[in-house]
Amino acid sequence: MSEGVGAAAFSRRRQHELWMRRALAVAASGGADDVPVGAVVYGPDGVELAVGSNERELTGDPTAHAEILALRRAAAVLGEWRLDGCTLVVTLEPCTMCAGALVLARVSTVVFGAWEPKTGAVGSLWDVVRDRRLNHRPEVYAGVLEAECAELMRSFFRP
């Protein structure tokens, strides 16, 4: 591996960690009754387009997952549903609904923190985003700030 490739990977990892810290802040600022998941969509230029935190309890909407809300808001900012070149950063591995939505929205890159072995659809229980039968497969970076993201979840579910 050349030095340039290693430097690029290091730089990308640092960027993903910075973005994940933003997603963690979004998760922490969500409603007290909702599972603390934070999602941020960044444009192709790295500019933040939209954020979302879980709002299922707040709104009574079963689809109000952090990722869905962030994708909707990013599409509204861009004025179209295709999020080509965009990166979705989320503190928890997306479920099947969210994984399907980000594939259909043509998100280019998914960065997530903690693995979700019960409902995860980006490599844990299912792997929707890498299904070769689909016409779009985003690049995936898993386990970014995994310990911090997992602790946020553990803290919420502790009695």
Catalytic choice (67, 93, 116, 146) = 67
For residues 114 and 80, is the Cβ–Cβ distance under 8 A?
A: no
CA distances from 79 to 49, 57, 130 (A): 12, 28, 27
Are 37 and 53 in contact, with CB atoms under 8 Å apart?
yes
Angstrom distance (rounded) from CA 99 to CA 118: 14
* DSSP state letter for 80: S
67 is an active site residue: yes
Q: Is 65 marked within a binding site?
A: yes
The one-character DSSP state at 6 is: H
- 133 three-state secondary structure: coil
Question: How far is residue 10's CA from residue 43's CA, in Å, rounded to a whole number?
Answer: 20
* Residue 98 in marked binding region: yes
The annotated binding site is made up of: 65, 95, 98
The annotated binding site for Zn(2+) is made up of: 65, 95, 98
Catalytic residue set: 67
